Amino acid sequence: MRKFTIIKACATSLRSFGLVSLSFALTILTNVGLLGCDRLTHPSVEKVMLHTMKATVDGLNKESLHIRYFGATTIQIDDGNTALMIDGFFSRPGLAQMLFGKISPDIDRINYAFAKGSVGNLAAVLVAHSHYDHAMDSAFVAVRKSAVLVGSKSTAKIGRGQGLPDDRIIEVNHGDKLRYGDFIVEIFESPHSPDPWFSEDINQTLQPPARVGEYRAGKNFSFLIRHRWGTVLIHPSANFSPNLFENIKADVVFLSLGMLGSQSECFAEEYWRSVVLASKARFVVPIHWDDLLRPLDEPLLPMPYLVDDFTGGYKTLLRMAERDRISVQFMPLFQPFDIKAFQ
């Protein structure tokens, strides 16, 4: 407990010193990580492993939805005819490049993830908001996979910057409903997790390479994805509007843990009530819990100590889930899971 109080105090004072101090501290910590001392920089992944779904050995049911996870908030949902992707972020640039240089989609890393996750053509890439860890690769992925790009005005600026024609960019707002094959996607505007950096809109066409701060958040969306075989709520940023999901019913919630450990217990309870309990889902898959600076050819690790109190947030999540008898399971990278595994 004391350790996290100290870490939180460090993080708070680092924020007040600004990005330069934070980058300096994180660079040191990342270098410690690179030297093979991940345990000094990151919470243990063992507790996550205990609650990670096991890949199915019997093959997947053909008449079903198949879901794959690619780290952060990147998820693919596919019914055999139509595939949708949330965010599509695979490049995961390292810290030095992110803080001191410019970033752009990394074709090798994107191809690696496409191959590992057998990503075929996509009908749509649905973008939560326009920070780099959600939107930087989205337009590139849409171009490569013949998809339309769906997101805010800011995300549309990223699409145009990467050469997507206007008829493949769908600007959406709260309440919009879109149909792709047998899927219906409903758009919910929801606040970004508290105190985001770079929170404004992107006002000009954004062409990579660009600085991380140019990927400003714009509006943030959650997606309710309905299909006759199941309903999935994707909630990519850990904040809530109290009555937003009052009238929905989902089988599973993909729930962001990003910065949840830095919030109060009271916040976590309201978050849980307003998103998970409101959705009536009995199954939660944590997303946005992993260290974004690590490439996908290395195992996922929780956010580093200096960024978030992952252990505290996760403990609170498990306590609420146990109390309300809701299953919490992480998904392993790249493996397909039948929607029945979550129902």
Indicate whether 42 belongs to the interface with Zn ion (CB under 5 A).
no
Query: Among residues 151 and 230, whose Cβ is nearest to Zn ion?
Result: 151
Query: Among residues 72 and 149, whose Cβ is nearest to Zn ion?
Result: 72
Query: Among residues 131 and 226, whose Cβ is nearest to Zn ion?
Result: 131
The beta strands (E) that lie in the chain are given as: 66-69, 75-78, 83-86, 124-126, 148-151, 169-171, 177-180, 183-189, 221-227, 230-235, 252-256, 283-287, 327-328, 337-338
HSE (CB half, 13 Å, CA atoms) of 190?
28
The DSSP code sequence of 214-227 is GS---S-EEEEEEE
| Count, residues near Zn ion per rule CB under 5 A | 1
Could you tell me the smallest distance in angstroms from the CB atom of residue 219 to Zn ion? 11
CA 317 to chain centre: 17
Reduced to 3 DSSP states, what percent helix, strand and coil does the chain have, rounded to the nearest 5? 35, 20, 45
Query: Among residues 194 and 242, whose Cβ is nearest to Zn ion?
Result: 194
Query: Among residues 131 and 144, whose Cβ is nearest to Zn ion?
Result: 131
Yes or no: say if 95 and 30 are a contact pair by the CB < 8 Å rule.
yes
Could you tell me the smallest distance in angstroms from the CB atom of residue 134 to Zn ion? 6
Which residue sits closest to Zn ion, CB atoms considered? 131
Could you tell me the smallest distance in angstroms from the CB atom of residue 116 to Zn ion? 25
Among candidates 213, 281, 218, which has minimal Cα distance to 245? 281
Q: Residue 107 to residues 102, 141, 194, 271: CA-CA distances in angstroms? A: 15, 10, 32, 36
Query: Among residues 208 and 336, whose Cβ is nearest to Zn ion?
Result: 208
Could you tell me the smallest distance in angstroms from the CB atom of residue 6 to Zn ion? 26
State the binding string over 161-200 for Zn ion (x if CB under 5 A, else -).
----------------------------------------
CA–CA separation, 338 vs 138, rounded Å?
A: 25
Could you tell me the smallest distance in angstroms from the CB atom of residue 92 to Zn ion? 14
Query: Among residues 64 and 91, whose Cβ is nearest to Zn ion?
Result: 91
**Angle (CA) 17 1 39, round 5°:** 75
Could you tell me the smallest distance in angstroms from the CB atom of residue 258 to Zn ion? 7
State the binding string over 105-144 for Zn ion (x if CB under 5 A, else -).
--------------------------x-------------
Could you tell me the smallest distance in angstroms from the CB atom of residue 131 to Zn ion? 4
Q: What letters, b where the CB count within 10 A reaches 16 and e where it falls short, cover 204-229?
A: eebebebebebbbbbbbbbbbbbbeb
Residues that bind Zn ion (CB under 5 A): 131
